[in-house]
Amino acid sequence: MFKKLFIIVMLFCVSSCVHLQSVSLTQIPAKKSKKVETEAHKWIILGFTFDNDYLDEVVPELNRRCSNGKIQGVLTKDETVNYFIGLVMKQRVVVSGYCQKA
């Protein structure tokens, strides 16, 4: 009995669910060249978070991956991953696009 209860509790505890909060997309270029992608995330414990500055590095990082180029068709996925019955979660923003070089 205790073993079954333990397994059920563990299943609930270690399961994780992902919410897709929003998606946005800019105009897609006709000529699709190299794809670049970056991700920024932040761990949140017990819901305490005081800024969203982790997103600051997304644009410079994408620019580094496409140096002296233009990134078009930018897809932004804003999602939240819940771990451990919502006490621990990860906010994740995945940004990808096509690097166009002249």
Partner 1 sequence: MKIFFAIFLVATYGCVVKHHAQFGEIDGRGGLGRRFEVKVSETGVNLSEASSVAKSLTRSKAAQKDIETVRDIISMFQMGPKTGNIVFHDDYAEKLLSMILSQCSSGKITGLSLIRESNKYPVISGEIVKVRGYCKLGKGGSSV
Per CB under 8 A, the list member of 35, 41, 58, 83 interacting with partner 1 is 58
Q: Is 82 near partner 1 (CB under 8 A)?
A: no
Token readout for 60 is: 């410079």
Q: Is 76 near partner 1 (CB under 8 A)?
A: yes
Q: Residue by residue, what is the 3-state secondary structure of the chain? A: CHHHHHHHHHHHHHCCEEEEEEEEECCCCCCCCEEEEEEEEEEEECCECCCCHHHHHHHHHHHHHCCCCEEEEEEEEEEEEEEHHHCEEEEEEEEEEEEECC
- The rounded distance, in Å, linking the Cα atoms of 47 and 100 is 39
Residue 13 CB, shortest distance to partner 1, in Å, is 24
Residue 3 CB, shortest distance to partner 1, in Å, is 39
Per CB under 8 A, the list member of 78, 82, 88, 90 interacting with partner 1 is 78
Residue 80 CB, shortest distance to partner 1, in Å, is 9
Residues that bind partner 1 (CB under 8 A): 21-22, 24, 26-27, 47-52, 55-56, 58-60, 62-63, 66-72, 74, 76, 78, 91, 93, 95, 97, 102
